[in-house]
Chain A
Amino acid sequence: MEAEGEEEGISIETAILGAILQSENRRIGLTILFWTVALTAIYAQALYQNAHVGLTDQLIAMAICVLAAASIQDVGKAILGYVASIFAAVVLVFLITIIPIIISPLSSVTMQLLFQLWITIFFQSLFPIPFTIYLAGSIIGGIAGERFL
């Protein structure tokens, strides 16, 4: 009786997952969501430990772009997905970065200076080389996904 219930539960979950994956838009939406989460996490851990994004972090981010773009299986949609993910990740990381500055007991002059500092760090961490590398990774991933998946 219990085993039957368990089997029923698993089959419902499988059906839901199947329904989600069958819908093309939903699948792409989920991919972009995971892509954004992964890029946000990579950037957050790098910036909050070293205040810059190192080569290893950039390579991991690029690998994520290849993987995510491959799972989209369409070069055009992969590029659009990349633009959406990187934009969302940058906005998220920037918000996560400035909230503790706003709520801290620092003076307004120090806060302003920190905002400027973080904007500079963000631009240095993303433009122009990392952004281009990730874009190239997304194109390669998209082509690979189209041909081999």
Chain B
Amino acid sequence: MVILSLTALVAGAYGATITANYYKFYSSLHTITVNLTSFYWVADNRSLNGTVTFNLANPSDYKGLGLAFFKMTWEIDGLNGKEKMPQGAPNLPLYMPRTLDPTKPITIDLQGGGVAPQRVTLIRSISGDIEFLFSVDLGISSFLNSQATSIDSFDCVSSGGPGTCQLIGTEIIPVPTAGGGGGGGGGN
């Protein structure tokens, strides 16, 4: 009886600590931030090149979040969005951080394709607006990894220099089991 009560006390105290951390998990998914810290680009009639840098951070107290994957597509919007030029997914750097650490920036080289170089040069020559839209999906690694994947989606906008990023939604997608396909993701 004494051993059982001591075991229950010790296990209870340890379980309470882990549970307290778990209670911050779902809200922490909503507090993850992506910052577009810098963006430089140059364009002429033949080429459009740029470099964009993102910083990721987990400002919450929850311990146990990491970066499972980073996906990005980008688009050039000219003339206040009247001229849209989707550019798809760029090549990502070989080394990607596995943590949401703001001291480990992610720098991506961009190369505009199709008609983008000519169009952008033309729009600039008539003093039209050029904006770059970056859609970022962060796969968040957590204790749920074996059962589900959490994805935070952000939209970032910049016309050069630092930009603004906004959380669009949090999605949780069950990992498909061997016996059958998993259910759909829940958007937010």
Contact = CB atoms under 8 A, between A and B. Distances in A.
B126 interface: no
Interface string A113-126: 11011001100000
A42 B11 CA distance: 7
A141 to B, nearest CB: 10
A33 B19 CA distance: 19
Given A67-B3, A104-B27, A121-B147, A113 B188 contact: no
B170 A110 contact: yes
Contacts of A33: 8
B12 A41 contact: yes
Given A109-B186, A117-B148, A34 B19 contact: no
Interface residues of B, number: 40
Nearest to B171: A110
Interface of B: 1, 3-5, 7-8, 11-12, 14-16, 18-19, 21-27, 29-30, 64, 143-148, 169-172, 174, 183-188
Interface of A: 21, 27, 30-31, 33-35, 37-38, 40-42, 44-45, 48-52, 64, 67-68, 71, 96-97, 99-101, 104-107, 109-114, 116-117, 120-121
